[in-house]
Structure 1
Amino acid sequence: MPSLIDDVLRRLYEEPPDGFVATRAAAIQQARAAGDRETAKRLAALKKPTVAAWVVNLLVRRRPDLIGELVELSGALRAAQRELRGEQLRELSEQRRRFVSALVAAARELAVAAGAGAGKLPLGEVESTLTAALADPEVAEQVRTGRLIRSAAYAGFGEVPRPRLRLITGGEQEGVAEEPPARRITGGEQEGVAEEPSAAVERVSAQQRAARERRRREAERRRRELERELASAEAAERRADEHLERAEAAERDAADLVDDLEAELAELERRRTEAVADVARRKQARRVAEREAAAARRRVGDVQAALDEVTDPS
């Protein structure tokens, strides 16, 4: 049900989070009523966004022009960081601060217009998420989907932690796990020894590679666990389907037997009705015969009396 999913996604990630659970529950019930269990399952997997994530999603959906500028600036900043061009990096960093401030102000205005209290908005988290998006084009693209459920933060050099997403595109779900923030290194590890920027970047890169390898191994372990759970669930589903088929066959047999017995009962009832009618007819015939027999006996008596008078005239 793509139309249902699209409409629910728009409402879930554009409307304030306090109505998320009720909106999702109503959509799940609608999908189940339509017999679409797969859509109901996918809708149930959607996660409620934090208020900060909702504010960012609202900005993405209501002001896509600003998000387009954010993606462009993200690429320029990333290129300057890779090439370590100090003057350009400082200029772009200043531009980033001004741009993020403008984005936060626009997001605040949209959230207040949507019914959120201005004093309760976590604008610091909104700012950190937008800053992270500017520091990493991949995060910028994720923010651009408008389906964040958590905020993100940037800690310095290297990759930024990915905000957790759960997307439905074309009926499929995709997830991006939240990564731990990278450690910022501004100096050497030994006291009094300065570290070149390239060495700092290399050290962070090595740490990130190790962290990615740990995450890869953990993801592989989790994948194997889920595959085992899936195999077990599929086997249980097959057994349940077989049991259901047997139960349905037994139900059909019982229903057929009831139909046969009802047909037999109908035939017996018809025969009983005919027999009752035949008994009534025969009873009537017996009564007629009794009357005829009584009349005949009277006639015999009368004739016998007349004969006796003729035989004995005295």
Structure 2
Amino acid sequence: MATRRPDTLARLYEAPLSDFIRERDAQVARLREAGRRDEALALKSVRKPGVPLWAVNHVARHHPESVSRFIDAVDRLRQAQLGRTGSTADHVKQERATLNELLDHARRALGDTGLRATDATLSRISATLLGAAADREARDDLRSGRLSEERAAPGFEVFSGERVTARPATRGNRRLELVKPAREQPAASAHRPESAPAKRRVGRQSEDGRVKRDAAPQPERAPVKRDIARAAGRREQAERRRLRELEREAARQERQADQATADAARLRERLVELDRRAGEARRAAERARQTARGIRPADR
């Protein structure tokens, strides 16, 4: 299948969202007239983006420096959470600041075109920005403003290499914490002689400690990890299902719009043909009237 030229796509993506299909079809017609049928066919397959995807691509094309700062901040946060650079908290603030900057640009772009920047729309814009920035294969499309589909926000595991486990349940709540490597304990000092009563006290304390430890709730690490993995899997599946539903709905609406455009074109052609026939009928009627009166057209 022929590839779509970047300049053709750039002109298409520059069009307002409401003009996307009309601009695409106009470009397809020009390509066909120029004999570039393969390119025309490839361009015709480009689907109209949803509002969040259009906003992301619009912001990327008009604010490339902001996008570059955001991608750099995502990279620095990844390195910090892997323990390779600086304070994680500082990098989180930088990543949030650059993301909010892009969301502000998106709000203004949507407002300028008469589109609503709802919370749901902004959430999908944020997820697409994060997902594309974290995916090295999607970054070029993000930078050039040519993402072809929305993205899911990356999970914690994308940035962090640490293990996740759970603290023992307290009052019915289970909190997650990062498990840090245990510090090595300093070597025991030289043994000092202990008296028999002291040894008995130590023995009782050790036994009491074992009893308390046995009675205390132990963290169920393996089940919790499985629960976390299953929850993440279910969340990802739900996001993918929702994305597929949105894509199907967008495709359905696009087909309806294409059908309406084709119907309108056929109707215009039909009206032109009817006007032509009506004109011929009027002229024929006039000639008939003149003949009936015995007047030739040349005598008039």
- Using the size of structure 1 for normalisation, the TM-score is 0.47
The structure that is helix-richer by fraction is 1
- Using the size of structure 2 for normalisation, the TM-score is 0.49
Greater relative contact order (Cα < 8 A, sep 6+): 2
